[in-house]
Amino acid sequence: SKTQTLLQVEKLKVAYGGIQAVKGVSFEVREGELVSLIGANGAGKTTTLKAVTGLQSIADGDVKYLGRSIRGQGPWELAKQGLVMVPEGRGTFTRMTIVENLQMGAYTRNDKDGIAADMERVFAFFPRLLERRDQLAGTMSGGEQQMLAMGRALMARPKVLLLDEPSMGLSPIMVDKIFEVVNEIHSQGVTVLLVEQNASRALQLANRGYVMESGLVSMTGSGQDLLTDPKVRAAYLGE
Ligand code: ATP
CB of 75 closer than 8 Å to CB of 158: no
Q: How many CB atoms lie under 10 A from the CB of residue 12?
A: 24
CA–CA gap between residue 118 and residue 33 (Å, rounded): 21
DSSP 143-159: HHHHHHHHHHHHTT--S
Which of 36, 47, 53, 212 has most ligand 1 atoms within 8 Å of its beta carbon, as the pocket-test mutant?
Answer: 47
CA–CA gap between residue 22 and residue 6 (Å, rounded): 21
List, for residues 15-69, the tens digit of each pLDDT value: 999 899 999 999 999 999 999 999 998 999 999 999 999 999 999 999 999 999 9
List, for residues 191-211, the tens digit of each pLDDT value: 999 999 999 999 999 999 999
Q: Name residue 162's beta-bridge partners.
A: 85, 193
Please tell me the predicted confidence (pLDDT) of residue 92: 85
Pairing relation of β-strands 191-196 and 160-164?
Answer: parallel
- Cα(219) to centroid of ligand 1, in Å? 20
CB-ligand 1 contact for 39 (6 Å cutoff)? yes
- Cα(57) to centroid of ligand 1, in Å? 14
CB of 12 closer than 8 Å to CB of 24: yes
Which letter does DSSP use for residue 55 in this model? S
Provide the whole-model pTM.
0.94
Burial 163-196 (b: 16+ CB within 10 A, else e): bbbbbbebeeebbebbbebbeebbeeebbbbbbb
Query: Whose C-alpha lies nearest to ligand 1, atom 14?
Result: 44
Q: How many CB atoms lie under 10 A from the CB of residue 55?
A: 15
- Cα(194) to centroid of ligand 1, in Å? 17
Which letter does DSSP use for residue 56 in this model? S
Q: Look at residue 8 and tell me whether its pLDDT is greater than 70.
A: yes
Query: Whose C-alpha lies nearest to ligand 1, atom 3?
Result: 41
List, for residues 89-117, the tens digit of each pLDDT value: 677 888 999 999 999 999 888 899 999 99
Q: Name residue 39's beta-bridge partners.
A: 212
First to last CA, the chain: 41
